[in-house]
Structure formats: C-alpha cells, structure tokens
C-alpha cells in the first residue's frame, strides 16, 4: 500500500530547544474530511492575515493563525470559470481548455478533484453562488451533490453577475454534510461575495463596500465551519481557503477584473489548516499556483500517484513540512480582452521576485522592490524579460489563440444566406498586432458604466453612449450585444437585429445571439428565420436551442416534432422547465391527462430556480387536467396559483370559473371570470369576448347578456358583440 510520509515539526518550542522535531506521518490524514472554500474576487492584501488593517475578518484570521499560509499564491486567470477549472482539475487553462466565463465547458475527459476523491471513496458535495459555475459548465462533474440553484434573469454576459446570497449556499452544503454517514466527505463551498456589485448587509457596512462584502464572506465561512464543528468534523478536517482571483480596485485603472494581469488581480489567499492544527503558524513565501491545490489535497488524503496523474500542479505537502517551497514559475493569462473587445490577449509569469506580462508592450516588475507594480523594468532588464517570455512560450507549447468554439464555415455560409454580413475567419494574429488592453482601459471603463446604465433600465442613454464607443471600436463584441439588447427594449427592433448581426459578424457561432434572434423572429412571426437561428445555436447550447425549436413546432401545430425537440432539450439538461411545460401542453391537448400532470409538475419543480419567471398556463394547464381527473380541490389550488402569477390569465380564470360553475358556485364563477377584463389596465375587445363567450358556453345567459352590453359600449364597432 502506498504510504505518503512527510515529517512535520510538532512544535516550535521543540525546535528551539535544539531537538529534532518528531516526525508526523501525513498519511494519518488518509480519509480525513476535506473542505475546500473558494471566496470569489478576494484580494490577498485585503485580509489581516496578509497585513491588511482596515477590514474585519476574524474567522479567516483564526484559520490562518492555526494553519499554513502561502504568502505568494497566484490565480492562473482573473475570471471565475477558468480559474475554478484550474483549481479543480490541477491544470493550466491552455491544457484544460476553459479560457472565458462564457462559451467554454470543461471537457468530459477531464479528471476533476471531485472525480478523483470519489474514486478514492469520498462522498463529494459542492454548492456554488454564481451562475458562471452552474453544472452545465462541467464544474460539477464528480460531485454526488451539487447545488447551483439560483434565480436567473437575462442572457449573455449579464449572467456572469447572477448570484445568490452566500447564506443560502452555506445552508445547502451544510445540510448535505449533515446527512452524510461515516463515509469521508469532500465539501466544496463557493461564495460570490465580495464580487461586484458590492452591497454588503447593513450589519457589515464599512468605509469601503468591498471590505464590507469581505467581512460578510468571513461571517459565512464562520457559519459553515460552525456547522462542521457541531458534527465533530472540523478538528479532524483538512480545510483549504482560497480565492479564484483578486480585484483591480482602480490600482491600474481597472475597477474590477478580467482585462489586466497585474498583481492585484492575480494574488490570492491560500490557507491550509491541517487536522489538529498541525504545523499551524507556518508561512511559506515562495510562489505557488491554484493548480497546486488539487495535488496537495490528493496527497494529504493518501490518494495514490496512479489516481492523481496528469496534473500540471505539484503537491505542497513537502513544503508544508519544511516551511519552504522550491522555486516555481506561475503562469497566468486572460483571453477576455481578445474575446470580448478584439484587443490583445495577455499572459504572465511570476518567477521569484519578478512578474513578467506578455503584451504588445511587455512589462516586467520587481515585486520585492515594487509590490504595487508601478515601475516597468522591461527595457532596463531586457534579458530577464526575454527569458521569461521564452518560458511562457515553452509552457503554453506555442498554443495559438482559441475561439470559444471552432469557427464554423457552414454557419458563416448560412448567415450569408439569411442576409447577414460576415467576415472571413480572423487570422491568428500575434499579440503585437492588436491593441494593448492597458491602453484601452478608459474605453473599457466606459463600457462598464454603460452596463450599469443598462442594469438601471436607462436604455436610451445606453444606445447614445454606445454609438460613440462603437464608432471607434467596431470589433467590440460586448458593445454590439449590449446595444442590441437596449435597442430591443426601446422598441427599435430592426436596429436591434442589425446590432445582433454585428455580433455574429465577429463570432458567427455565438449561441446567446442566435437564441436572442430566434426569439425575436418568433415574436415577429417569421418562423423560418427563428428556426434557422435556433438550429445554428444547437452545437454550442443544445438544451436552449432544442427548447426554442420545440416552442416553434408547438406554435406551428406540429406536436410530434415539439415533443421530440422538448425531449432532446431535457436529455441535455433536465432543469429546462419550458421543455417540461411543452410536453405538458402537448399531452393536455391530446387528452393524456396523467402524462400532462406529470410534465406540468416537473416544470413547476424545475422552475423553482427562476421564481421570478412567468409562464402563462403553467399552473392552469395542470389544474385543467386535475379537474378532468376529478381532483377538484387540487385543481382549485393550481388555478389560484396561476392567478397569483398572472392575474389576467384567461386560462386560469376561464378554468376556475368553469370549475366553480360545475360545483354550483355561480357567484364565485362570475367574479372570477369578470377578472379577465377587470385585471387588465386597458381591457381589450378580445378580453371582453372571452368573458361573453365563456358565460354563453357555461349557460349563464344573464351574465352573458350583461357583459355583451358592456362590450358593445366599449367597442361599438366590433361585430362580435352585435
């Protein structure tokens, strides 16, 4: 049996007395509970454990005092998904292939930390607080339990800011841990605080809202650790606390993160607390990376080398014993400026005291003498810069820029046939031939300002601002996408379609754009164009694309095709509530009430993750089938649920009125049915006609005549009421 033996000092006092520290076999931690906590967007230098004095983080401070602190830990990408992909696979972005928050997924053959620990006998559970880390990205692969439930609104880049309160994430994961038996557990907790926008609870308000969010995250960590303590797990657990990346906070002009690769965006906390606080108080100053977390945990858990092969990172178990890590070079990158704005991508390496950034104008900083990175030494230390540039080339294997999905020539041809102007696939340009992101920081921050205007619903201002920006930045994909959404909201549909066309000229296979256009053309009653765009989205977002195709088939009166597409959508992603709804509608129309009831209930359950979304006829469809199968009490509850969500719902009001009439509750039926008209701010002739016609069908002649009279007065020219 493979045994990992590493000596640890029992105490500093023993060493001070000149005695050799007693060896501790780290394999004693085999099977220990493992807790990995990732606090999103947390700069190391905003924690007291790293010298900060303005914040409030007593829980993390205590964890650091009882643990091993890596002073120079670095992220490999200042974006949530690529960084967590490195954290959980132990591999660099060029190797695991995830280069941005949008458009990439972890490949099915990647071995995640959860998969490796599961194979070693661990129960694996995770809970995340950001839509960016939803299970569809592959980040949840290997977890027996993975909670990513959160309300989602919007599409595209705005999804990056979709989050839930970390309190809910803590409760979800802690409840899972509580339910585990004697199996060793691996628990992964992701908190999105302190990601922007910074809005800490009033109880954690501070001079800097960013620090207030960190203080709240600290409280949440404490809450989770308290739950572990209550189960008797904490003292025998291996606890690791990290962040995926830092935050600019304006230090080099960038308010947030993703665009630049300076130290404030890359340096992160990395704290390890071993069972019994072994080796507590140790600090290690050599550079390490997030890719080292997975191999370290696997080694501490006693996982064999065969089970932990293929990693770019290295185990830090030995350095934790000695207090020293070997010299390491740490690679980082950002493709964000290239993918979203057409500017140069960046790569960097931290090597000892130096940090080199590969850019159209390369930069070199001596972090020991210039921690804030304000004095570029690239020219004065040209040989050092050249050496580190060569290291990056070797490390990436000369990997060329990779778009989110390989450019599809067939997609370009189809877009041309649809009337869109498309460009030829961009050549593999070198970084030197593109704009340097640091020269574009003012433009970038203008776009961030415009995004805030859009979030506030000030769409006319958004359009006005972007007209100026896009004139000088025609390759700014995010700008065109934002403009298209705002144009659509202010009723300029044709201009919105043109703006979405600009997005497709830059990225022909972008699924969010095709899906948006499919919805627009469906509303515009152009089903052929709607279907064409949905089909173009299938390769990169099959679940959503199949769902739209199912809706189009339902509208076209093709129930068999609608059913087939809805089932394909659910086959990719079981949580597609609209696909379940479509199956329910088809079954309801065909008189298959048991099947319809099951499908509607699955849709209602799946929709719990989006409580603010409104689906007309969801509860009414279920209620109708319940009523038809003599389940009147349940039917009434569902009809009322429909009216709570959609007060003017004709399906809900007609169905409930019909139910009441069948029970002899005529006055209740009249009151409910009248709401088809009275619940609308501006009642339409169709609403009046629904009331008149329904009363006639129900055999309530007096009510029918009364409403026909009201309809004639409101719409004297409508022949239906004569």
Domain ranges of the chain: 12-341, 410-509
Q: How confident is the model at residue 529 (pLDDT cuts 50, 70, 90)?
A: very high
- What torsion do the CA atoms of 309, 266, 243, 372 make, to the nearest 10 degrees? 140
Longest pairwise C-alpha distance within the chain: 107
Q: pLDDT by residue (tens digit) across 679-711?
A: 998 999 999 999 999 999 999 999 999 999 998
At 143 the three-state DSSP class reads coil
Structure tokens at 116: 């490796």
For residue 14, the model assigns a pLDDT of 32
Q: pLDDT by residue (tens digit) across 463-518?
A: 999 999 999 889 888 899 999 999 999 999 999 999 999 998 888 888 889 999 99
**For residues 127 and 141, what is the distance between their CA atoms, to the nearest angstrom?**
12
**For residues 262 and 252, what is the distance between their CA atoms, to the nearest angstrom?**
8
Question: For the residues 352-374, what does the mean pLDDT come to?
Answer: 96
How many other CB atoms are found less than 10 A from the CB of residue 370?
Answer: 15
**CATH placement of domain 410-509:** 1.25.40.10
DSSP lists the bridge partners of residue 355 as 350, 365
697 CB-near residues (< 8 Å, 6+ apart): none
CA 193 → CA 43, 199, 220, 237, distances in Å? 12, 9, 10, 24
696 CB-near residues (< 8 Å, 6+ apart): 704
How many other CB atoms are found less than 10 A from the CB of residue 560?
Answer: 9
- What torsion do the CA atoms of 263, 264, 265, 269 make, to the nearest 10 degrees? 90
For residue 319, the model assigns a pLDDT of 86
Closest residue by Cα to residue 692 from 702, 710, 670, 707? 707
For residue 259, the model assigns a pLDDT of 95
For residue 402, the model assigns a pLDDT of 58
CA 210 → CA 166, 253, 448, distances in Å? 15, 17, 17
Is residue 346 within a helix (H) or strand (E), and if so which, with residue range?
strand 346-351
HEC string of 183-219? CCEEEEEEECCCCCCCCCCHHHCCCCHHHHHHHHHHH
The pTM assigned to this predicted structure is 0.81
For residue 639, the model assigns a pLDDT of 95
**For residues 538 and 550, what is the distance between their CA atoms, to the nearest angstrom?**
12
State the alpha helices, DSSP H only, in 2-152.
12-16, 58-65, 80-89, 93-96, 113-119
Q: pLDDT by residue (tens digit) across 403-445?
A: 554 445 566 566 556 565 555 444 445 556 889 999 999 999 9
Bigger pLDDT: 179 or 149? 179
Question: For the residues 100-108, what does the mean pLDDT come to?
Answer: 88
Under 8 Å between Cβ of 497 and 520 = yes
**For residues 621 and 580, what is the distance between their CA atoms, to the nearest angstrom?**
12
Q: pLDDT by residue (tens digit) across 165-199?
A: 889 999 999 999 999 988 899 999 999 999 888 98
Under 8 Å between Cβ of 520 and 496 = yes
Q: Is the pLDDT of residue 539 over 50?
A: yes
Q: Is the pLDDT of residue 153 over 60?
A: no
- The 3-state DSSP composition of the chain as helix, strand, coil percent (nearest 5) reads 55, 10, 40
At 109 the three-state DSSP class reads coil
Say which CATH topology domain 12-341 has.
Alkaline Phosphatase, subunit A (3.40.720)
Least confident of 83-97, 202-216, 245-259, 319-333: 319-333
For residue 612, the model assigns a pLDDT of 78
For residue 326, the model assigns a pLDDT of 80
Half-sphere exposure of 558 (CA within 13 A, CB side): 12
For residue 164, the model assigns a pLDDT of 82
Question: For the residues 639-647, what does the mean pLDDT come to?
Answer: 94
Q: How confident is the model at residue 276 (pLDDT cuts 50, 70, 90)?
A: confident
Task: Give Cα 255 to chain centroid, integer Å.
Answer: 20
Question: For the residues 45-66, what does the mean pLDDT come to?
Answer: 95
Tell me what percent of the residues of the chain surpass a pLDDT of 70: 89
Bigger pLDDT: 6 or 538? 538
Please give the full DSSP string across 351-373, using - where no structure is assigned: ETTEEEEESSS-EEEETTT-TT-
């Amino acid at each position: 049996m493979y045994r990992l033996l590493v000596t640890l000092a029992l105490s500093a006092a023993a060493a001070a007395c000149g005695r050799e520290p007693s060896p501790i076999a780290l394999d004693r931690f085999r099977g220990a509970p493992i807790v990995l906590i990732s606090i999103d967007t947390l700069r190391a230098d905003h924690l007291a454990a790293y010298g900060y004095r303005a914040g409030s983080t007593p829980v993390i401070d205590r964890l650091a005092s009882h643990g091993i602190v890596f002073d120079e830990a670095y992220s490999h990408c200042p974006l949530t998904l690529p960084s967590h992909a490195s954290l959980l696979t132990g591999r660099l972005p060029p190797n695991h292939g995830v280069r941005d928050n949008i458009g990439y997924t972890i490949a099915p053959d990647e071995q995640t930390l959860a998969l490796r620990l599961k194979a070693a006998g661990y129960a694996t559970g995770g809970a995340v607080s950001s839509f960016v880390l939803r299970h569809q990205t592959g980040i949840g692969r290997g977890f027996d339990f993975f909670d990513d439930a959160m309300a989602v609104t919007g599409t595209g880049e705005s999804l990056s800011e979709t989050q839930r309160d970390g309190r809910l994430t803590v409760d979800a994961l802690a409840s899972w841990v509580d339910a585990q038996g004697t199996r060793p557990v691996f628990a992964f907790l992701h908190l999105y605080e302190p990601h922007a926008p910074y809005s800490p609870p009033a109880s954690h308000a501070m001079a800097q809202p960013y620090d207030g969010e960190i203080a709240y995250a600290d409280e949440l960590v404490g809450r989770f650790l308290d739950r572990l303590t209550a189960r008797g797990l904490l003292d025998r657990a291996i606890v690791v606390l990290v962040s995926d990346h830092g935050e600019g906070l304006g230090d080099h002009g960038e308010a947030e993160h993703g665009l630049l690769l300076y130290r404030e965006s890359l340096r992160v906390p990395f704290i390890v607390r071993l069972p019994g606080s072994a080796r507590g108080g140790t600090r290690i100053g050599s550079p390490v990376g997030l890719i080292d977390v997975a191999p370290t945990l696997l080694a501490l858990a006693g996982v064999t080398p065969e089970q932990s092969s293929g990693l770019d990172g290295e185990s830090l178990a030995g350095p934790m014993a000695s207090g020293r890590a070997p010299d390491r070079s740490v690679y980082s990158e950002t493709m964000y400026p290239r993918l979203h704005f057409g500017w140069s991508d960046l790569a960097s390496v931290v090597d000892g005291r130096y940090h080199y950034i590969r850019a159209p104008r390369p930069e070199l900083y001596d972090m020991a003498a210039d921690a804030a990175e304000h004095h570029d030494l690239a020219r004065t230390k040209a040989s050092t810069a050249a050496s580190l540039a060569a290291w990056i080339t070797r490390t990436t294997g000369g990997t060329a820029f990779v778009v989110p999905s390989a450019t599809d020539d067939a997609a370009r041809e189809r877009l041309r046939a649809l009337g869109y102007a498309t460009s030829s696939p961009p050549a593999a340009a070198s970084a030197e031939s593109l704009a340097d992101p640091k020269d574009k920081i003012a433009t970038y921050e203008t776009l961030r300002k415009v995004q805030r205007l859009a979030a506030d619903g000030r769409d006319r201002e958004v359009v006005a601002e972007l007209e100026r920006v896009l004139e000088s930045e025609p390759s700014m994909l995010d700008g065109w996408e934002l403009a298209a959404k705002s144009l659509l909201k202010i009723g300029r549909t044709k201009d919105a379609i043109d703006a979405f066309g600009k997005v497709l000229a830059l990225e022909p296979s972008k699924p969010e754009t095709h899906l948006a256009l499919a919805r627009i053309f469906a509303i515009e009653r152009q089903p052929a164009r709607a279907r064409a765009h949905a089909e173009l989205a299938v390769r990169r977002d099959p679940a959503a694309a199949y769902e739209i195709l199912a809706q189009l088939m339902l509208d076209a009166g093709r129930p068999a095709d609608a059913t087939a597409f809805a089932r394909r959508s659910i086959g990719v992603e079981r949580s597609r509530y609209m696909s379940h709804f479509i199956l329910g509608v088809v079954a309801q129309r065909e008189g298959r009430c048991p099947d319809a009831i099951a499908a509607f209930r699955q849709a209602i359950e799946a929709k719990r993750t989006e409580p603010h979304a409104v689906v007309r006829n969801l509860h009414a469809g279920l209620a109708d089938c319940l009523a038809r199968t003599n389940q009147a009490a349940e039917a009434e509850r569902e009809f009322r649920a429909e009216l709570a969500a959609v007060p003017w719902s004709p399906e809900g009001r007609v169905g409930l009125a019909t139910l009441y009439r069948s029970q002899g509750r005529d006055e209740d039926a009249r009151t409910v049915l009248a709401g088809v008209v009275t619940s609308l701010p501006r009642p339409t002739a169709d609403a009046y006609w629904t009331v008149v016609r329904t009363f006639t069908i129900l055999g309530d002649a007096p009510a029918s005549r009364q409403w026909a009279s009201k309809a004639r007065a409101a719409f004297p020219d409508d022949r239906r009421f004569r």
